[in-house]
Amino acid sequence: MKTTLQRVLAAASLVIGTTSCGLDGSQQVDRNRAPIAAGRQRLTVDPFDSRVFNWLFYVNNYADLLAAGIRSESAARSHWTRYGIAEGRQASPTFHTRQYLELYADLRAAFGSDYRAALDHFLTYGVSEHRNGFKDGGAYGRYTVANDIISVSSSDRTAGAIDSIVWNGRELVNSFDHGRQVQLALSINGWGECYNPTEAGGGFDESKGTSTSQLLGLRATGSNLATTILPAFWMLPGSMHPSPSPDCTVARNTSARSDYRFSKDVQVGVAGIRHVIQFLSSIYVPDDVRSLTLEAPTGYLVGDLTSFYTVNLDTGVLSSVSPTPPGEQQKPLVVATPDGSAAMGAWSPELPQVGNSGGYGKFAFPSSDATWATNKWNIVFRHGPLTAGTVVSHRAYLVVGSLENVRVAMKQLYDIWRSGGLP
């Protein structure tokens, strides 16, 4: 499986004129906005409001918190209120005090780097004034795209791999280390992890704040995210696999980073269905290979999504399946909480492939450590032989919401595809 920042500056209390600003920072008079009080403020709002705080996102977004052993909700809450807010840390993909201040010149003029005041303003006034809590295009190593119900986020830490999907205030993605996330990964010639380019980084990157994968380009605008990277190999050159097999004993790669080029284009909301995320991928293959097994993508989910289902897209009927034994089947998968309050489905119209007996994999990794526990689905494509210079491209869809939301949306999506209506 895969810093403290500047402290709050005190300022004299004052009231300035009510202004707003556009994305370019230019100020415009808005007489409907509340006066802004500058200077250090005590919070008058709930610092754990789901619009500004999600403990799993917070912990997994900061390698130093994991390194410090902050791996529970209570510990995350304590750090957030004692240090995180004042340090300008980010605890939600759709709100960041530093991005919020960068976005609005009137708030910068009033608060400077008083991040507590900025958070208080957002919840007290900003939401009702329809201010954005994050900067379009990203900033400070975090990039978020969204529609009205779902946010999808990536970071420099994971070389642009999707490390957060939030619906209804709930984080659905486990991003504890660089082998998780919602990401692209492939194995070549049957060598498994011994020759395994992985989007978010190598296994040796562990839970660090950086990735060996190289982010070549990223665009995050509105509801669309696109990236291109050179992925790290999962294993360091010359390293031994911890569970060797006849096909994978020692790393086959001679460098830490591969020449395979991964590109993806992610769209939140598709064909009028708000619960759907489109995931388009392309892989440049630099070598002649006998075979290529591609996860396009795989998704490592938070530990409380423990119930697995297959879905019959012709009828829209869900059937419960056991996560054990792990492995693949031909029907699309849905993973949900036991009560059905949150779920994620995965489907590709390009599956099943001829000669591919599976296509949708399911795996469970339970743990008493909530930051570590995860359950996985993957969408698997198999190719080969391939010649150097080949580009392999695929289309997949992730569906997010309650279990019923996901069931209905997957059926709608399938019917639109069957009628030729998908873009």
The rounded mean pLDDT for the chain is: 90
Give the containing element (helix H, strand E) for 411.
Answer: helix 403-418
Tokens 């290529």: give the residue. 292
Neighbouring residues of 145: CB distance < 8 A, sequence distance ≥ 6: 151, 152, 153, 220, 221, 222, 223, 224, 225, 266, 268
Neighbouring residues of 287: CB distance < 8 A, sequence distance ≥ 6: 188, 259, 388
Q: pLDDT tens digits for 24-67? A: 333 333 434 555 554 445 678 999 999 999 999 999 999 999 99
Read off the pLDDT band of 3 (50, 70, 90). Answer: very low
Q: pLDDT tens digits for 60-93? A: 999 999 999 999 999 999 999 999 999 999 999 9
Residue 347's DSSP bridge partners are 397
Give the containing element (helix H, strand E) for 392.
Answer: strand 391-401
What's the rounded Cα separation, in Å, for the pair 171 and 269? 18
Read off the pLDDT band of 357 (50, 70, 90). Answer: confident
On whether the CB atoms of residues 265 and 423 are closer than 8 A, the answer is: no
On whether the CB atoms of residues 333 and 377 are closer than 8 A, the answer is: yes
Structural domains for the chain? 15-126 (no CATH), 143-418 (2.70.98)
What's the rounded Cα separation, in Å, for the pair 224 and 14? 40
What's the rounded Cα separation, in Å, for the pair 122 and 133? 7
Average pLDDT over residues 145-163: 97
On whether the CB atoms of residues 92 and 153 are closer than 8 A, the answer is: no
Integer-rounded Cα radius of gyration of the chain: 22
- For residue 257, the tally of other CB atoms under 10 A from its CB is 18
Q: pLDDT tens digits for 179-229? A: 999 999 999 999 999 999 999 999 999 999 999 999 999 999 999 999 999
Residue 27's DSSP bridge partners are 21
Q: pLDDT tens digits for 91-136? A: 999 999 999 999 999 999 999 999 999 999 999 999 999 999 999 9
The percent of residues in the chain predicted with pLDDT above 70, rounded, is 90
Give the residue among 343, 340, 332, 341 at the shortest CA–CA distance from 301.
Answer: 343
The three-state secondary structure class of 251 is coil
Average pLDDT over residues 278-286: 98
What's the rounded Cα separation, in Å, for the pair 62 and 209? 7
CA dihedral angle for residue 395, residue 158, residue 198, residue 165, rounded to 10 degrees? -40
DSSP strand E in 25-77: where?
Answer: 27-29, 36-37
CA dihedral angle for residue 211, residue 213, residue 217, residue 221, rounded to 10 degrees? -50
**Tokens matching residue 355:** 């000669």
The percent of residues in the chain predicted with pLDDT above 90, rounded, is 87
Asked whether residue 19 carries a pLDDT value surpassing 50, the answer given is: no
On whether the CB atoms of residues 118 and 133 are closer than 8 A, the answer is: no
pLDDT of residue 43: 74
